[in-house]
Amino acid sequence: MNLEPQFSRDKRIDDERLMRTAIKIMNDALETGNGDPFGAVIAKEGQVISSSGTTVLQDNDPTGHAEINAIRKACKALGTWDLSDCVLYTSCQCCPMCYSASYWAKLKAIYYGCSWLDYCDCAPEAPLIKEDIGKPANQASIPQIQLLQREASIAWDKFRNYKKPRSV
């Protein structure tokens, strides 16, 4: 049984073209040795708004995933944090951080090439992070300790009464 969504032939061709761009970025990283093999493209109405590979090693930045980089570039290019008219094409299924960023950016859809199962032997942390996020804060691998909750909540109380439109 085919579980893939059924779209028009033209849309499917467009989606495949954009995914191939993400896969090319992935393969270029392997060939040049400029990082891990991940690539991402943000498109709006079939047009590339941004694209990126992973820059974790070059920038010494653990948030430099291809998807995060592409989202940042798209937001800058469009002058907004709201990417609800955009689609993410990524060479591999999003990690929890990249999925969360996609969620906050309100992306319309995420298309991915490889699933976690296709590459978890090369990135063994990915499934462990996904599992760890589901644990109660006091059982997570990185201790999460609530501190000064009342004091920190004052800003949220003020925010609730603030009339300016929300940023996220």
- Strands (E) in the chain, as ranges, are 39-44, 47-53, 86-92, 109-114
Q: Which of 4, 16, 31, 67 is catalytic?
A: 67
Q: Based on the residue annotation, tell me whether 151 is a catalytic residue of this protein.
A: no
Number of Cβ within a 10 Å radius of residue 130: 14
Q: What is the CA radius of gyration of the chain?
A: 18
DSSP-derived secondary structure letter, 165: P
DSSP-derived secondary structure letter, 50: E
Tokens 């951080």 correspond to 97
Residues labelled catalytic: 67
